[in-house]
Amino acid sequence: MQWVENRMRVLVTGAAGFIGRQITAALLDAGHGVVAAVRTGRRRTLPAGVEVVACDLARDLRPEQWVPRLRGIDAVVNCAGILRPSGCNSFDAVHHLAPVALFKACAMAGVRRVIQISALGDPAATRFIGSKHAADEALMGMPLEWTVIRPSVVYSMAGSYGGTSLLRAMAALPGVLLLPGGGGQKLQPVAGEDLARIVAACLARDACCRVVLEAVGPEPVTVREYLLAWRRWLRLPAPRWEVRVPRVVVGLVARLGEWFGRGPLGMTMFTMLMQGNVGQARAWKELADRTGVHTRSLDAVLGVRPGFVQDLWHARLYFLRPLLRLTLAGVWLASGIAGLLMNESVRLEAVAALGLEPTSGTRLALAASVVDMVLGALLLWDRLAVPAAWLMLGSVVVYSLVLGGLAPQLWLDPWGGLVKNAVIFVALLVFLVLAGRS
């Protein structure tokens, strides 16, 4: 472990996120103490040795709410961010209003050193970038020792999240390379580990105070080159087909993702990808001069270690997870609707085959159909998807045991109605495994 002369206690917002976790690790490695300001539910994702204070950037919009959290704090790193608004988690609140309240609280509490992780690009292009830059401007007008860091696309071999997960999944498609907008747009990606080293260096260097730094790799790469590099790292053969997807088609898919999805596939990602994301001509040299960190090229980073089968699994399961969810929900909804619309004589025949009394058996069958439809709908509701999957799992077991017990001949049905429940059972287990964040 490397130790610095002036060991600090650093408050890190967004410490449980993709970028925040890497910055937290770098600060700990540099000998600093880290206090993570996170939502209560994210505590378990933090490493040992990290202190935790609860916060909610969607609601903590007043300096007075932040001042008590700054007791004993020497520096603040704000790396909280969202790719799309959700409920009260708006771009204005999470990227602008809450950070500005935090910065004002720093001035009130005597915390001089503040590092803001912003975003590279035109602030007029998206609300994501615009809200980040609004907080930057506010910070630059305060009597603090500030540093604004604007990274390009941030990636890591150790894992991925959001847009980097989406791009890695695109690179891993079997046999085909989809090139959104033609794939000629330029990026200047920076490794998350290098970005974390930059933040740690900025805390120790006076040359990093009151400057805006663009955190970029040494050279731009096109989207096509970026995807192919990840494909080689995943040890996949060159794609048989390269398909240039027209901008209008990509925009339509992004719009649908904005309306119906919750991941990175949306208008923010679309706009940033279509416009490219590169720094100014001298950005890389100025970054190295001020921080002493020479960020590495994508090929150099990916050359440190090969990709493993687990990396390929994650990349290829990325698109299969929502497909599995939609399929399971569709099966339950279709089953419920079919049960409600079943011909009465057919329903009575099925009830008789189970040895049930017609009236009570019919009511039970109709109730089961309604339950199926409710569970199918709940699986599509993000907050209740996991509980719904557990209830589905239980219903599969109950249906199989009850129906199989009342009518054992169903196990030998030539269409395999009950036997197929074993496949559905396993599919639900897979969904529950994949239901975590990615």
pLDDT score for 173? 96
Q: 63 CB contacts (<8 Å, ≥6 apart)?
A: 101, 102, 104, 105, 108
91 and 85 Cβ atoms separated by less than 8 Å: yes
Distance CA 263, CA 183 (A): 21
Distance CA 48, CA 42 (A): 13
pLDDT score for 360? 77
pTM here is 0.87
pLDDT tens-digit map of 382-410: 889 999 999 999 999 988 887 777 777 66
pLDDT score for 357? 78
pLDDT score for 32? 95
Distance CA 293, CA 411 (A): 65
What ranges make up the beta strands (E) of 118-216?
145-151, 154-155, 176-180, 186-187, 190-191, 211-215
Helix (H) or strand (E) holding 302: helix 298-302
Q: 305 CB contacts (<8 Å, ≥6 apart)?
A: 157
Distance CA 37, CA 305 (A): 33
Distance CA 416, CA 160 (A): 40
Question: If you search the block for the tokens 């929502």, which residue do you land on?
Answer: 322
Q: 189 CB contacts (<8 Å, ≥6 apart)?
A: 152, 153, 154, 155, 216, 217, 221, 226, 298
Cα dihedral value 193, 9, 147, 70, nearest 10: 130
Q: Where in the chain is the domain with CATH 3.40.50.720?
A: 9-159+187-219+278-305
pLDDT score for 354? 65
* CATH architecture for segment(s) 9-159+187-219+278-305: 3-Layer(aba) Sandwich (3.40)
Distance CA 275, CA 119 (A): 14
Reading phi first (left if > 0) and then psi (alpha if -120 to 50, else beta), residue 40 is in alpha
- 347-375 b/e (C-beta count within 10 Å ≥ 16 → b): bbebbeeeebeeeebbeebeebbebbbeb
pLDDT score for 415? 62
296 and 218 Cβ atoms separated by less than 8 Å: yes
Q: 127 CB contacts (<8 Å, ≥6 apart)?
A: 85, 91, 92, 268
First to last CA, the chain: 29
3-class SS string, 203-224: HHCHHHCCEEEEECCCCCEEHH
| Angle at alpha carbon of residue 160, lines to 246 and 302, rounded to 5° | 90
Distance CA 186, CA 217 (A): 12
Which residue ranges of the chain lie beneath pLDDT 50? 1-4, 438
